Structure 1
Amino acid sequence: MLARNTVVSDLFAAVGSYGLQLAILSLWTIIGQLGIDLRLIRKLVHISLGLVFMLCWPLFSSGNQGAITAATISSFNIIILLLRVGRMSKDEQGMSKVADPRTSPIGVAAICNLCAGDGVAGIVGKKFGRQKLPYNKNKSIVGTVTMAISGFITSIGLMTTSQFH
């Protein structure tokens, strides 16, 4: 039944993928409390969560609906990060790249850039991307340009509409 109803199937994939990411993040949080270098833990969080997201990608339906549903996971994580970043204690700041995350939004902007840029590029590139890149026939010129533009707009929008400016 789930295979026939792609909306329900994609929702289950999103919940499962997000749940797995939360479990892995919780594991790294516990390991970080054991006295291991927090910069190393932060890097391992980045690596493992990105890989888990990509490993869960086949759970989503093909086409725009699956891509958009999968992108909501990253968008949800960004929203949570933005809400939490202002409430970080001094101890939690050890997991952040900079001492005061409110004055350096580069990491958040980069994540927004990748999420919006990659998500929109995939949708637009599949629909309108007839001319392929010479070095990667799976990617289109219009998709690449769309990634740059949408990532830039998202980053600028973040800077101008939030507490980071």
Structure 2
Amino acid sequence: MGERWMNDLLAAAFSFAACQLVMAFFKLTYDVGLIHIHLLRKLIHISLGLIVMLCWPMFRDLVLACLAYALTIAFVTVFYWRTPLAIAAICSLCAGDGMADIGGRGFGGSKLPYNKSKTYAGTIAMAIAAFLASLLYMYYFSWLEYIEASPNMVLGFFLVSVASALVESYPFPSVLDDNLTVPLASMLLATFLL
């Protein structure tokens, strides 16, 4: 497992470096006056996606997880812009899911009875991180007058955070990535609670 992730990390670094090199070349041609700004933009538009696709054979697991992560955030941004539901979903996915791994590895401890690859510490860390991040964004969005913070919203974020932590800890089949299951569960529950 670790070797595959290392391979994906190296492939991502190579893809990024290749894209940066091509962009630097195009910018140099623009800086010396060989091409117009519109052509520069279109050359970058044409080449970057094709370069990344050229590197696809180097990747293993990381691509699907990153794709699920990016698509989820894009979906929530497009359809739930500046809403409590968006806060719940993105905070559970980003702060919560990220802290689950950090907390689980950092503190270790007892494994969950229904999933021996997860720990109580990781699940608790996820719930706390998702909840705290949700509260911070609730107050931030309230300050910007996008939403109106309330005690009911605080309770809703708490329940969504706990539920998303439980979903993340569940041993779903490998085809169901937690970058999909966590925000889907968060959105579903947030629809009723927030």
**TM-score with structure 1 length normalisation?**
0.43
Return the index of the structure with the highest Cα Rg.
Answer: 2
**TM-score with structure 2 length normalisation?**
0.38
The structure whose RCO (Cα within 8 Å, separation 6+) is larger is 2
